[in-house]
Each structure stands twice: as C-alpha cells, then as structure tokens.
Structure 1
Amino acid sequence: MSQVFELADRMADMRFRALILLATFASLRWGEAIALRRHDLDLVARTVRVREQLVELDGGEMRLCPVKSRAGRRTVGIPAAIIPMLSEHLASYVAHENDAFLFLGKKDGFLRGGNFRRAAKWGEALKEMGLTGLHFHDLRHTGNTLAAQSGASLADLKARMGHDSDRAALIYQQTTKDADQRIAGALSARVEAERKDRRPDG
C-alpha cells in the first residue's frame, strides 16, 4: 500500500498525484477516472460517483460516454487517508464550476494516456522504484485486491468494481484466500520447526 503513495509522490507533475490515489483506492478504470467532475467527488461523505467514461477513439477523438453497464454507474467510498490530497488537488488544479473535470491536460484538454505518461514521467517513476511492466490499469487491480483483503463480501466487491457478474470479484476473493492459506502454511511450518528444536535428542 505504501508503494501506491510513493508512486503518487514520484509523479513529475503533481496534478497526477490525486489521480494515482483515487484510481487505486476507488478501483477506477482509466476512462472513468479522467471523466470525473468536481460534483462527482464528495469529500464530506468520502465518496466518488462514477457515471461517465472518456474513450479515445481510433482516430484520436476523445468521446464522453455513459459507463458500459448499469453496474458501472456506482458510488464508491474512498478512504479518509487520501481526503487531504484530494482536497488540495481541488483547490490547486480544478476549476470552481461543479461540472469542471478533475483531471485535464496542461492545455485544459481531455487527458490522453500518452500525454499523462509523458507529463507524469510514469516510466521513469516506475524504474526508480524498481518496478517493471506496471500499467495504469494495474492500480485498479491493486485497489480491488486491497478491497478483497479487507474482508469485503462478493456483493460489495461487485458493486465497488462496477461488475454485473460474480466472476471478476471471485478472482480477487480467491487470490486473497490463497494468500491467506500460504500465510497459514508458513506459520504452521514455523511452529513445527520450533517444536522440533525443543524435542530432546533421541
């Protein structure tokens, strides 16, 4: 979890610190995150509302669309720990109008993936942290995993992720279950090793 904050702090353009944190801890897709507006973020209730997505078409046009499914329209709780950073972002980088976008490019155009990676120096930040092959979408995976590790139910995970089916949420629950079993196995092996050391010879 600390690596998420470190990555956010390593962004060359600090406008993107809040983007990293919100995408991770609210389990947002790229298109959902860059479509967010000021009125979608409620810092008092600690929620973010997902209603739209920005899609970059093959010809380069950026199109604002509804999310793909009814489940995709959702309100996601966000941890209190990132509220100060989000509040600072609103004050420093977001226009005062309620429908102002939270994350824009330098010339106040829609934020494109390539522009983000260049301005944030995404690759350089990952290299400095010793991480390779990490994509923006992996932040959502991290958020989903953290939610599953918190003990969230299948229904809660589905709602948070914006999925209609159980399949994706079950993957994160199973991953958490497998990790827990590995921990239990390691603890068991340690107990057995200590018992063996205490046994008298012969």
Structure 2
Amino acid sequence: MPNDKGRRRRFGSVRKLPSGRFQARYRGPDGLMRTADNTFATQTDADRWLVKQEAKILDGDWTNPDVKIAFGDFAEDWFKDRDYAATTRERNAVVLNRFILPTFSDLPLREITTPQVRRWRTDLIEAGVGAASVAKAYQVLRAILHTAVDDGLIERNPCRIKGAGSVTHTERPFLSVPEVYRLADAVPPHCRALILLAAFCALRFGELAALQRHDIDLEAHTVSVRRAYAETRAEGLIVKAPKSAAGVRTVAFPASLAEELAHHLAEYADAGRTGLVFVGARGGVMRRNNFRRIWLRALAATGLGDVHFHDLRHTGNTLAATGGASTRELMHRMGHSSVRAALIYQHLVNGRDHVIADYVDGQIRKVKRPPHGPSGT
C-alpha cells in the first residue's frame, strides 16, 4: 500500500486523505492542475479515473471542466442548425419553449443529471401534459444532449429513461368503401372528390390541397404528387415539397373514380393547366381549418363518430394491403420516407400499382352505386 502522503506517477497523482478516501489530480492541456470532482473509496478507483483523463487528452476528447455552457444557449444554437420543414420547426419550437427551457435553460450542460430528467418528465405528466407531448419533449431534449455528447461538452447523455421517447397510439379506425361514399355524399359537391382521392389513393390533406390540373391523368388513371401545402402560425400558408423524396410519387387511382374526377375538374377546379384541383368555398386554397367545419358536419350527418380526415389515408393503405400490395408498394403509395428513389418507380413499370388500384376499384363496384358524372345526382 502506498503511503498516505501520495506517490509519484507518470500522469497525475493520487493521495490518501485523512478521511481514508483518495483524491486524484492531474495537469490539464491548459497547464492548470485539475482535481477530480469527487474522492474515491480505493486507490485503484482513483488510478482508473486518471487513466481515463489521460486517454481523453491523448484522443483529443478532453473538455475544460471550468467551461460551463448553459443548456439554453446551446439549445438555441442547436435549434438554428436543424434542417426542419416549416411545420416541424414550428412544432418543435413550441415543445422546446413550453416544456424544456423553463426547467433546463439556466442549467449548465454538465450539471444535468438523469434524476433531474426523470423528475422533469414526471412533473410534465403530473401537470396533465398529454402523453404524445411528453414523449416529443423527451425526444427533443435527448437529441439536444446527444449533440452535446458528440461535441465533447458532456461525457454521457443523461436522457436514459427506457421508453420515454415513445408513445403507444390508439389504433385508428379505417372505413369501409360504403362508409367512404357516405362521407362523400355528406360533404358539399366541391369536396366530394377530395374525400374519394384521400380514401382510395391514401393522399395527405396538404398534398390534395396542392394538386393542380396537370397532376391528374384521366386516361392513365394516375395522380402525381409533386408539392404540398402547409399551414404555420409564423409564415401562414406555404407551398413546400412533400415530406421526403419518396413523397414525390405517382399513384394509380381506381378506374371507377375517372368519371367522378372528370366531373369535378369540369365543375369545380380552377382553370388552366396549373389551376388548383380543389379550391375553398371562396375560390382560394383549400385550408385545413376551414375544411374542418365541413368535415365535422359530415361526421354528424353520417353518424361515423370520431373519425379523423387522416383516417381516410389509413383506409387507403388498408385497402391496398388487403389487395395484396407488398410492403414496398404500400410505402410507395403512401410516400413513405424510407423508400429509396429507385424503388419508387420500379413497381410502376411492372403494373403492380394499377393492380392495387383495380382491387380497390372492385371493392367500389361491389357497392353498386350509379355513376356520378356530369349529369349529377
């Protein structure tokens, strides 16, 4: 056992304190002596700590423990560097400002601990914050601190609560083909085709609102998604590219919809090749907030209950899956971001996308509805 007055080492020094515990010190790259924040029960533990500090210096991973960067300052810079879409940026800004910064803004990054994160999350839950919002806040906090680890500002991410970044969503309903037509019958005529395309082609509302005349090919029975509308508080209504490269896609629609769409284009769409397919009651862009009133009235009239517009997209995916669509084909029709660009068009060449549309068409024909063409009903 070395004497309690300390001993000479190649790197750093260890000495035994009157309390019986051991203290470790070393000279940092800046020439100043550094003392471990805590003492150690054994000399071996102190030696191991010094070995780790030396390794950090040799690997270039050493950080000055005296530099204390506030979480709020780091988070602000981190957020500016994110390449978010407008809607995602706005949503995450709300999460950061409302749920994260009030607790962690003034704390130095190095002083944030796992117990603090755990207490913060528990406080949000007890305050009645929704499960999805709590999970999202945890995801953002974890991402910020993960970057701090990558930057060498902290050694370990304190967000270590298993399952805290996930939330179990209740299973959303999907509609039968007759129920889709009940909804289509319940909305104003200029919204009828919107309901049918959403359900039978699994398109998002923003994608539908941005469709132009040249995106609809009545002969080929396809609709091309090239852009989408997004509504933000800061920037208002903006046109943006789909959520990912895979979102730019061409989807076959059931042949039974051709007459419906031809009628809609003739009666309700804007004029010109780039005219909007769907317009609002006053001739402007179809906005989600304005359409919500129409949607709620249709639900009340049909008695379909708690159905979201996005459930029509779920319906289209379910119908396609029932028709035997492969995973890749489903991901294409829905514009899923994990599909590689080459796979987006691969199955279109062999006609499988039209097979999917034909199956949905068969389900529509089983309802035996009369044509809803230019003569109307």
What is the TM-score of this pair, normalised by structure 2? 0.42
Once residues 284 and 269 of structure 2 are traced to their aligned partners in structure 1, the CA distance between those partners, rounded to angstroms, is 13
Structure 2 counterpart SS, 1:80 = coil
> Would the alpha carbon gap of residues 106 and 128 (structure 1) be closer, same or farther in structure 2, given more than 3 Å must change?
closer
> 2:312 maps to what in 1?
139
Gapped runs of 5+ residues in structure 1? 167-202
Cα-to-partner distance string for 1:145-166 (whole Å, 9 max, x where unaligned) = 0000000011111111111337
2:325 equivalent to 1:152: yes
**What's the offset of the Cα at 1:60?**
6.5
**What's the offset of the Cα at 1:69?**
0.9
Once residues 68 and 164 of structure 1 are traced to their aligned partners in structure 2, the CA distance between those partners, rounded to angstroms, is 7
The amino acid across from 2:239 in the alignment is L
Q: 1:84 aligns with which of 259, 262, 269?
A: 259
Answer yes or no: is the 8 Å Cα contact 1:26–1:77 preserved in 2: yes
Once residues 132 and 75 of structure 1 are traced to their aligned partners in structure 2, the CA distance between those partners, rounded to angstroms, is 32
Gapped runs of 5+ residues in structure 2? 1-176, 340-377
**What's the offset of the Cα at 1:128?**
2.6
Structure 2 counterpart SS, 1:71 = helix
**What's the offset of the Cα at 1:125?**
1.9
2:182 equivalent to 1:9: no
> 1:96 maps to what in 2?
271
Structure 2 counterpart SS, 1:148 = helix
The amino acid across from 1:131 in the alignment is L
Q: 1:27 aligns with which of 177, 192, 202?
A: 202
The amino acid across from 1:2 in the alignment is P
Answer yes or no: is the 8 Å Cα contact 1:25–1:143 preserved in 2: yes
2:36 equivalent to 1:36: no
- 1:113-128 matches, within 5 Å, as 113-118=288-293, 120=294, 122-128=295-301
Identity of aligned residues (%): 48
The amino acid across from 1:126 in the alignment is L
Answer yes or no: is the 8 Å Cα contact 2:246–2:338 preserved in 1: no
What is the TM-score of this pair, normalised by structure 1? 0.77
Structure 1 counterpart SS, 2:239 = strand
The structure whose Rg is larger is 2
Answer yes or no: is the 8 Å Cα contact 1:71–1:163 preserved in 2: yes
> 1:74 maps to what in 2?
249
2:227 equivalent to 1:64: no
The amino acid across from 1:108 in the alignment is G
- Alpha-carbon RMSD: 1.3
2:338 equivalent to 1:165: yes
Answer yes or no: is the 8 Å Cα contact 2:227–2:239 preserved in 1: yes
The structure in which a higher percent of residues are helix is 1
Structure 2 counterpart SS, 1:141 = helix
**What's the offset of the Cα at 1:106?**
2.1
The amino acid across from 1:115 in the alignment is N
The amino acid across from 2:229 in the alignment is L
**What's the offset of the Cα at 1:94?**
1.3
Answer yes or no: is the 8 Å Cα contact 1:62–1:110 preserved in 2: no
> 2:148 maps to what in 1?
none
Once residues 72 and 125 of structure 1 are traced to their aligned partners in structure 2, the CA distance between those partners, rounded to angstroms, is 29
Once residues 298 and 280 of structure 2 are traced to their aligned partners in structure 1, the CA distance between those partners, rounded to angstroms, is 19
The amino acid across from 2:227 in the alignment is E
Once residues 107 and 84 of structure 1 are traced to their aligned partners in structure 2, the CA distance between those partners, rounded to angstroms, is 25
